[in-house]
Every structure is written in structure tokens, then in C-alpha cells.
Amino acid sequence: MAETSLSPTKNLSFEQLAAARKSTQAVSDFLEKKLLDYLDTLRSLLLPERLLGKLAGSKFEVPGTDKALAELQDSYRRLPGKPFDFPKEFETDWLVDVGVKLELQRWEYSREISVESGKRKILITSPTRWILGYGPGYTASQAIQAFASHQDRRGIDQLRQFVVNALVMQALIARSTGLSSMLAELRYDVIALTHPGLRSLPLVVIQSHLPTFLPPEPVIAAATELSGINAFIELIDADAVRQLADPFKIRISQLIPEQS
């Protein structure tokens, strides 16, 4: 994936890295499990047929289908020609193939760091940010790799379906303000982000309120050199977590008059 740094840099020694990684992994696993539980409960609100009715294979019509279809067609037309060199006209038959399985994928991006030999590209993974999409089909990482390959585009139908799925998810979330508000109360924000590897295609991203950071480049370089893998995970900022306010408590406190 292309470079898009999202976390600030914070001092951390190589000796402190192991403990920070362990706590980050534990918290990230907890956050992902809770999010999957919430999405499983809310699954019926995120089905494509809720937006598109019979166009998505449902037996029933839903209000606003024509408007939703027009918006999808417009979003599709506004995609740049490269790398999205698909048929120019949006075909409604594609909507029947939008998956109904909700899938989460960790947000990843690449970053160049300085090492003794020059520059090294590192794949960075976020422990608190996920791409929400429909499956089965290409993940965002697979789609980016396929778009970047100029030699093999045999999976053009799969790539096109990935794009259609992403547009449908974005359109559905944009109309589901109540769902986004509910997840925000649970400390997860739902946002639309474009990844440099996918140009102007919006992706629905869910991110925890917990802040993350990256250690200085020499620490990242030493860690990747030791592991032999050019990959690193952002670290959850434990100090910032301890200072997080409770919005619910704050709102309730504002409703209670102070005692003299």
C-alpha cells in the first residue's frame, strides 16, 4: 500500500519496545473482537438490500432505491480512468454480486525510513483502524496489489466488483447516521478515507478512539532488521489512554447542578 502516515512519533527505546508491542497486541485483539461482536449485532442494518432492495437480490422494494442507484452511478462515473479502467457504464447487474458477509481488514500503509544503507520501505499496520467491506472477494490489500500490477489484470471482474462493493458500503454508511452515532458511543468512529493506492475510491473505515504512535525511525529500523521482515505495527499510547475522558460521564455531570 502507498504511504499515508497516520500516527505521530513518540520517543521509545528499543528496550521498551517488547512491552509496548505486547500490550498493543492485547488491546488491539480486544478492540477487534468487540467490534466484530457489535457488527454481528448490527449486520441487518449493513446489508446491501437495505439500500438497494431488489437491485441487490432482495424480494422486496425499499424506498429511495432510484436515488441510491443514481448516486452510485455518479460515484462510479467520477472514478479516474486509471487504474479503474472498467466499462464506462455502471451495470445494475453488478449489484446482485455485492457480498453480504461483513469483513474487517487492518488499515495498512507503507513508509520509507532512513537506514545506514539508505532508505527502506516498511509496511505499517494500524492496531486500532479497520477497513469495513463486503465479502467474499478482494481485500483492499489484494486490490491495491492487483491495480499496481500492469502485467496481470485477469482478475478485472473481481477488481470491478471490489470497487462496486466499496461504493455500496460508502453509500449505505452515508445514509446510516444513527448507526455511526451508535458506534461512536461505543468509542468507534466510522469515517470515509481514500487510500493513495486506490486513488479517489472511498473506503469505509472504523477506528477506535485510542491514540497510537510510532517510535523513532532508528527503533523501527532495528526492530525490522532483527525480525528480517519489513513490517511494523503502530503502538497504542498507554499514557494517552490513561488520560482519556469519559464523554458519557461528562454529559451526565453537566446535567447535575453543583452543590454549594
Could you tell me the residue ranges of all domains in the chain?
14-255
C-alpha cell at 4: 499515508
Q: Which pTM does this prediction carry?
A: 0.89
pLDDT of residue 2: 42
Nearest alpha carbon to residue 46 among 141, 163, 159, 175? 175
Q: Is the pLDDT of residue 107 over 60?
A: yes
DSSP state of 189: E
pLDDT of residue 3: 46
Which tens digits make up the pLDDT trace of 178-215? 999 999 999 999 999 988 888 789 999 999 999 999 99
Which tens digits make up the pLDDT trace of 38-73? 999 999 999 999 999 999 988 888 899 999 999 999
Q: Is the pLDDT of residue 117 over 90?
A: no
The residue type at 218:
P
Which segments within the chain are labelled E, that is strand? 101-115, 118-135, 188-194, 202-208, 212-213, 231-233, 235-236
pLDDT of residue 154: 57
Q: CB–CB of 156/172 below 8 Å?
A: no
**Residue 141 exposure: Cα atoms within 13 Å on the Cβ side:** 12
Residue 59 CB partners (closer than 8 Å, separation 6+): none
Which tens digits make up the pLDDT trace of 237-246? 999 888 888 8
Nearest alpha carbon to residue 129 among 67, 206, 184? 206
Backbone angles phi, psi at 191, to 5 degrees: -135, 165
Which tens digits make up the pLDDT trace of 1-44? 444 456 899 999 999 999 999 999 999 999 999 999 999 999 99
